[in-house]
Structure 1
Amino acid sequence: MLAQRKECGTGSGLMDIKFTNRLSYKQARLTVLVGFILGTLLSLVQIGIDYASEDASINREVRALLQISHNPASRIAYNIDSELALELTRGLLESPAIVRARLIDNNETVLADVERPRLEDRYRPISDFLFGDHRQLRDPLFLTHMPDEYLGTLYLDVDTYPFGRRFLDRAGLTLLNGFARSLVLTGLLLALFYMMLTKPLVTVIGALSGGDARKPMQGRLQCPPGHEHDEIGVLVKVANQQFVSMSTEIEQRRTAENRLTQYLNELENIVAARTDELKASNDNLSLTNQELEQARRRALDMAHARAAFLANMSHEIRTPLNGMLGMIALALDNPLPGEQRQQLAIAHDSGKVLVELLNDILDLSKFDAGQLELEHIPFDMATLVEDTASLLSQNVAQGVELTCLIAHDFPASVLGDPTRVRQIVGNLLSNALKFTRFGRVDVRLEPMIGGVRLEVRDTGIGIPEDAQARIFQPFTQAGAGITRQYGGTGLGLALTRNLCKAMHGHLHIRSQPGFGSRFTAELPLNAYAKADAPEPLHASVAALTAAGSGLHELMLGLLPALGLAYARHDGIETVAGTTDLLILDDVQALAEVRRVSQIPILLVTAYGNFLPSEQALAMAPLHQLARPLTRGALYQTLHRVLQGHDAEHPLATPPTATAKGRARILLVEDNPVNQLVAKGMLAKLGCQVELATQGVEALARLEEQAFDLVLMDCNMPVMDGYEATRRIRERGRWPGLPVVALTANAMPEERERCRTAGMDDYLAKPFRREDLLAVVDRWVPVSG
């Protein structure tokens, strides 16, 4: 730094600095410029004031001249004396500003009119611009003792140039004085700034230029006289302090350089030793990398083995499940006694629960492999929630009330994946029912901004705060005693949270031990269709139920929206005679009501607790519905009751519509049980079915007959479904023939494998009659 300063300051000091670059010149220039601008502004202000004064003096002097001439002119006009009038007007022209004077009497007779030419000069345009080229004044004439007697008029034309020339002379002198003052001020400031600022600085620069950068302590700067306490003195003190610091720093650097040289020598020895150690470490690392690569390959092999195991397990379990559920569904289509129908329905629902558990295990493996795919289709979520709750109602403990509370403004359909939403609802509801032994389990569904909110609330055992995060881990529950007492795999909540995250939603929990739990799933499912308002019923409904029951809360929110007047009562004595329907949730109160009234009754009971037919007939008119009440079933029952229709059996199965009366379907299936299930279901749908047990036989049947649809099992002996489908597509004889895969492998790669083989659709076992009907409706043309 000091060397650079010396290079910049060497030479002859001030002589090396241009005059225009000197600090004194810059300060003087700035000061004079400011003074010049201010002086010019003040001069312009002075000129403006002078201009206004001069402009006023024009009219003032001319009016004074008119005032002097008024009385003589009035007497001349009164006497009508032309000679005196001429003498008066010539006298007025003696004024430099008057260029024309004219005197007329009261009869507009000109007594005198004289004028002279205007003065011409190079400054005249400026004067005319400022004051105008001329002005005309008139003075009505009258005598003092006769002010109301008009005698004539004196006209004067005024040339403004004499006044303008006088103003311009004064303005030029004002500006010239301002310039002169600025010049004098410039010289004085230059001299003062040089003596007070530039000369002391030049002295300091010279002292700095003569020093040696390598020896900053060779001397100290001397402060110029008279500047010990101003900025120059401070500059000299700071420079001397910097010299001291630089000298100390140079000595420290020299010492550090000597020590650094010593450290470098030692470092070379250390580096040599470490190099040998690194060579040995690299050899060990290469061996470790080889071991890691072998471990990675073993892990990949294990992952492939696990995927193959899950696929085989899915196939081996789903195949008998398909036969079991299919046979039970076919049995339920036949006329059966109520008790047997109830037992078969429970077995069928239990099989469905087993299928859901298998799906949970497979879905969890899909999450681990990153293979889960979500649909984005419209579906009725409210009905889905009610159907799921009805399916799980068989698991409700005695003394627990299960209620579905759907907001009246919930959309008729939303966009999303109905299968995954059903899993979320089923897992949350199954978890609530498992840990609730008394009280209520409520499923609430309502719209929110940007999606829907599903809430499952129970009055069960609750979850401690320290266990609320742990329960979302796979195969984990709140405590070891929970598994022993309540059972379960610990998969439901883990899968539910993963599904919510996959949908970009959130799952929240609020729980307190002994007071129940509340699980809330907020899912971004946009509304697809608005809810349709049902036809109002217009009747009066009463209920004998507890004030805190789920049935009362459901009726209170639903019945007014249907146009019904609703009221809750504690006893039959308070029920009005105009009530059209009485709702009960207690079988014990039924007989008491019938002793005092024959009002139509709707009995709401738990799953499987319906009155036998004989007892129900004895209590007629009586209608029965199972909890949880669904909106559709309740509306249909209310509509039927209010129209006076008889009650239907609560377990009656509606007849299946014949969707495809003339559809010819080729069923390719090697398992005898699954053959019976599929043929039975298709027969119930009104389809004509031909059977083939493997691919070669299927190709032969296609050569012999024409079919509308082929249901192709994938795993068969001799020729499997993939090869048979490829042969069908290669031959080209059946270009529009739809082929639907029937497979028990529910892994995601199975769907792609079927599509690659040329199949049009995919139906996983076990399938329901509704699923089979949907496939037939999709691929078989409508019969004429």
Structure 2
Amino acid sequence: MADRTPDRLNTITGRFALVVVAIIVAVIVALQVSGARIGLFLALSLLPAVIACAVMRAHARDKTALKKSEHRVNLLLKEVEAHHQTERELKKAKEVAEAANLAKSRYLVSVSHEIRSPLNSIYGYSQLLERGLHVSPSDAAKVIRRSSEHLTNLVEGLLDISQVESGVLRISMDTVRLPALLDQIANMFRPQADAKGIAFHFERPEHLPDFVRTDQKRLRQILINLLSNAIKFTPRGSVTLRVQYRSQLAIMDVIDTGIGISQDDIQQIFEPFERGGNPDAHRQKGVGLGLSITHALVRILGGDLAVQSEPGKGSQFTVKLMLGQVATAQPDPSPAESLTGYEGKRRKVLVVDDDPAQTAVIRSLLEPLGFVVFDAPNGMRGFEIAVQERPDLVLLDISMPGQNGWDVCAQIRAELGPECRIVMVSANAHEFQQGRDGRAHHDLFLKKPVELDAILDAVSDLLSLQWVGAASEGGAHLSTVEDLPPLPSAAAEIRAEIERAAIIGHVRGVESAIRELEARFPEAAPHAARLHGQLDRFDLKMLLKTVRAFR
């Protein structure tokens, strides 16, 4: 209580009370001195107290007003600082946007160059052939094919970056002949190094596993990107590909004596469209996607990519990947050029595409193998032919005049049912849907440009065909499952789960889904037994083909 007394006296009421007490004390003293005129004295004494009270109240109001003014000033100062902060952030955002816009402009210029060079080759040789000039058709075809592959790789690189950023990049598990793959890549780059006047060295142990399990396309892409960069940025000296393998761990070093990379640029070079600050790097052709894609692919495959470099002395990129050894395996089969047909009844294929050139390619591929091929330039005509001819397989584009491919797909599925297989073949990669998940109307999605082998793979898988020709001599392209009873319709979701797990190489996921199929549907025991056998051999590609062929 005593601690709060000074605070209470410091209020207006407290001060007024002190003045009154002082006056009363003065009055008492005056009474003791003289008793005359006490009333007048008391009245006159109260007047100063009232005046003092008014003065103290005015002072208090002034003090309160001053505090409010100071508070408002502080608020205004904070608001001004906030505006300055916002201005600084806007300025920084503007600089970032301008830098991004400049990078985009540089990227578009680079992409334009990368696209125009192969297009010029395709355009030039096409005109020479068209005019009947003395050009070897075989040589022209090779140039056109290589240029087309370059364009495809450029587009695929951009798609890979997009898929990595969105988390939908698909990884497959192939049975890969590791020595043959490494020899092939070394032989691919040795002439390039010789042409540039630099030495190319390939070092690998004598004994490598004949077969390993990995995504062959992605492994090839990783090595090609690293070796291509090494040769590109090495004006003199040598480039070395060194491979080591132990305990199922592959260590692949790409070593060059090129321009090198500064420590400040080592992390930057893994960003899309970036080449660091070395002017010599910017003078080289390319769009700056290779290392970004390579870094992402190595991580997705569960590996590690490290780099050691010194400007002016060269660089060493080291890739570490787990490549599981396959003890006894056969290489993944692919349709051979000498295929002559397939076993069983003649199958009908409908191609719906508004581009006659695309239709002509499919017709030229399938008709010599014994397929009856129909074609339609738009969705409406395609649906009419489908109802009339009832094809076994439909190859359907998405972007067409009138109805788009998705609408036509739904109509064909409703009319012909699941017996008609539907493959979406489109350049609309952003609309990719795997299919065969129990919900989609289509069975498979192929992105243009499509390799002819991929089309034959799709036809074989979906129609459960046995090829006739050289391909069938090395092993059936797809073991027939027509002897198995159809799966219950309720098992479609589990079948789709097995397919999804096999595509990404998730062995435990495949095994779990097969066991679930076996437990929920006892009649699917033969199907599960076949899948278990393929899983035991770690043959995920054949397992994938088998599960897609289940009726």
| Structure 2 length-normalised TM | 0.56
Counterpart of 1:608? none
Counterpart of 1:469? 267
Counterpart of 1:491? 289
By how many angstroms is 1:356 displaced?
A: 1.3
Counterpart of 1:780? 463
By how many angstroms is 1:766 displaced?
A: 0.9
321, 325, 342: which one aligns with 1:660: 342
Counterpart of 2:151? 354
Residue 394 to residue 713, structure 1, CA distance change in 2 (3 Å): farther
Find out whether 1:445 has 2:129 as its counterpart: no
> Identity percentage over the alignment?
29
Counterpart of 2:400? 716
| Contact residue 374 and residue 417 of structure 1 kept, 8 A | no
| Contact residue 395 and residue 425 of structure 2 kept, 8 A | yes
- Within 2, Cα distance between the matches of 1:411 and 1:462? 33
Counterpart of 1:552? none
1:451-462 aligned within 5 A: 451-462=249-260
- Within 2, Cα distance between the matches of 1:692 and 1:347? 27
| Contact residue 397 and residue 433 of structure 1 kept, 8 A | no
By how many angstroms is 1:284 displaced?
A: 11
- Within 1, Cα distance between the matches of 2:453 and 2:386? 27
Matched position secondary structure for 1:355: helix
By how many angstroms is 1:740 displaced?
A: 0.9
Deviations 1:609-652 (A, max 9, x none): xxxxxxxxxxxxxxxxxxxxxxxxxxxxxxxxxxxxxxxxxxxx
By how many angstroms is 1:708 displaced?
A: 2.6
Matched position secondary structure for 2:432: helix
| Residue range with higher mean Cα deviation, 488-497 or 271-280 | 271-280
- Within 2, Cα distance between the matches of 1:439 and 1:338? 37
By how many angstroms is 1:453 displaced?
A: 2.0
Find out whether 1:730 has 2:414 as its counterpart: yes
Task: Return the letter of the residue paired with 1:498.
Answer: A
Matched position secondary structure for 1:699: helix
Task: Return the letter of the residue paired with 1:378.
Answer: D
- Within 1, Cα distance between the matches of 2:187 and 2:348? 35
Task: Return the letter of the residue paired with 2:175.
Answer: F
Counterpart of 2:499? none
Task: Return the letter of the residue paired with 1:443.
Answer: L
| Contact residue 375 and residue 417 of structure 1 kept, 8 A | yes
| Contact residue 176 and residue 214 of structure 2 kept, 8 A | no
Matched position secondary structure for 2:419: coil
| Contact residue 713 and residue 742 of structure 1 kept, 8 A | yes
By how many angstroms is 1:448 displaced?
A: 4.0
By how many angstroms is 1:385 displaced?
A: 4.4
Residue 694 to residue 444, structure 1, CA distance change in 2 (3 Å): farther
- Within 1, Cα distance between the matches of 2:248 and 2:164? 25
CA RMSD of aligned residues (A): 5.0
Q: How many residues align?
A: 376
Task: Return the letter of the residue paired with 2:176.
Answer: D
By how many angstroms is 1:712 displaced?
A: 0.9
Counterpart of 2:472? none
Counterpart of 1:744? 427
Residue 282 to residue 453, structure 1, CA distance change in 2 (3 Å): same
Higher CA-based Rg: 1
By how many angstroms is 1:442 displaced?
A: 3.4
Find out whether 1:765 has 2:448 as its counterpart: yes
Find out whether 1:371 has 2:167 as its counterpart: yes
Matched position secondary structure for 1:751: coil
Find out whether 1:510 has 2:192 as its counterpart: no
Deviations 1:513-551 (A, max 9, x none): 45443211112443344689x9xxxxxxxxxxxxxxxxx
By how many angstroms is 1:386 displaced?
A: 4.5
Deviations 1:287-317 (A, max 9, x none): x8xx99xx9xxx9xx9xxx9xxx9xx9xxx9
Deviations 1:660-704 (A, max 9, x none): 364432111111221222222334555332211122222222222
Task: Return the letter of the residue paired with 1:741.
Answer: M
- Within 1, Cα distance between the matches of 2:321 and 2:64? 63
Counterpart of 1:344? 141
- Within 2, Cα distance between the matches of 1:717 and 1:433? 46
Task: Return the letter of the residue paired with 1:763.
Answer: L
Counterpart of 2:533? none
| Contact residue 474 and residue 490 of structure 1 kept, 8 A | yes
Residue 665 to residue 430, structure 1, CA distance change in 2 (3 Å): same
- Within 1, Cα distance between the matches of 2:64 and 2:317? 64
Deviations 1:698-743 (A, max 9, x none): 2222222242321111111122211111011222x33222111101
Gaps of 5+ in 2: 11-59, 469-551
| Contact residue 379 and residue 403 of structure 2 kept, 8 A | yes
By how many angstroms is 1:338 displaced?
A: 11
| Contact residue 409 and residue 441 of structure 2 kept, 8 A | yes
- Within 2, Cα distance between the matches of 1:680 and 1:442? 43
| Contact residue 738 and residue 760 of structure 1 kept, 8 A | yes
- Within 2, Cα distance between the matches of 1:463 and 1:667? 51
- Within 2, Cα distance between the matches of 1:489 and 1:375? 24
Residue 436 to residue 758, structure 1, CA distance change in 2 (3 Å): same
- Within 1, Cα distance between the matches of 2:177 and 2:78? 62
Find out whether 1:699 has 2:377 as its counterpart: no
| Contact residue 360 and residue 495 of structure 1 kept, 8 A | yes
Matched position secondary structure for 2:269: helix
| Contact residue 397 and residue 437 of structure 1 kept, 8 A | no
- Within 1, Cα distance between the matches of 2:322 and 2:65? 65
Gaps of 5+ in 1: 1-253, 332-336, 535-653
- Within 1, Cα distance between the matches of 2:80 and 2:276? 48
Residue 346 to residue 693, structure 1, CA distance change in 2 (3 Å): same
| Contact residue 666 and residue 710 of structure 1 kept, 8 A | yes
Find out whether 1:380 has 2:191 as its counterpart: no
Residue 372 to residue 452, structure 1, CA distance change in 2 (3 Å): farther
Task: Return the letter of the residue paired with 1:734.
Answer: G
- Within 1, Cα distance between the matches of 2:435 and 2:68? 60
By how many angstroms is 1:744 displaced?
A: 0.8
Counterpart of 2:362? 678
| Contact residue 163 and residue 169 of structure 2 kept, 8 A | no
Matched position secondary structure for 2:401: coil
By how many angstroms is 1:405 displaced?
A: 4.5
- Within 2, Cα distance between the matches of 1:689 and 1:439? 56
1:175-324 aligned within 5 A: 274=71
By how many angstroms is 1:761 displaced?
A: 0.8
- Within 2, Cα distance between the matches of 1:270 and 1:416? 74
Residue 340 to residue 500, structure 1, CA distance change in 2 (3 Å): same
By how many angstroms is 1:494 displaced?
A: 1.9
Structure with more contact order per residue of length (Cα contacts < 8 Å, sep ≥ 6):
2
| Contact residue 173 and residue 214 of structure 2 kept, 8 A | yes
